[in-house]
Amino acid sequence: MNILVTGAAGFIGSHLSERLAELGHVVRGVDCLTDTYSRELKALNVRQIQERGVTFLPLDLADDELADALAGIEVIFHLAAQPGISAATPLGTFVRNNVVATSRLLDAARRCRTLRGLVNVSTSAVYGANATCDETAQPAPASAYGVTKLAAEQLVLSNALDEGVSAWSLRLSSVIGPRERPEKLYTRLIGCILED
């Protein structure tokens, strides 16, 4: 299957890209390599996915032409986003990277005749400050991140209904592991332990 993974240089996107390639799929990874954290870490992730056979395209979903990236694609895993719940990140950055980027990806996907499905990776932050509920709870985002990720979910849902393309949004919660962003709790905690 021909698969596009957005956010392929990130923590989860790089692991997903590698795994899909290991399963025999033809994987195209896209990422704009924002400066959310060290570009060197993202470049390392890109090298690792390329070593597994993933084709990497440095594209910004909010600005760049996407038709070539989607040519022949059957499934999209959309992980690209402005992460975090920090008040230091301006609202406009969350809107651009979570809502506008998703909208432009969906616009390009509408013209992709080979597309069979789209998996949008969202967040438990759409539930708000107490994100310990199950998926039947009503969303009540308490951050710009949660608000814009919920908006992206709604864009994916409305596009699926309008276009008849299968689409799902997954609300991940507290994912941890190798390549996790440096500012996350476990990365910082392990760093503190190693540095005494």
- Beta-bridge partner residues of 118: 76, 167
Active-site annotation holds for 145: yes
Query: Do the beta carbons of residue 110 and residue 67 sit within 8 Å?
Result: no
Query: Do the beta carbons of residue 125 and residue 143 sit within 8 Å?
Result: yes
Strand ranges across the sheet with 2-6: 55-58, 26-31, 2-6, 75-78, 117-123, 166-172
The full length of the chain comes to 196
How far, in whole angstroms, is CA 115 from its chain's centroid? 18
Q: Write out the catalytic residue numbers.
A: 145
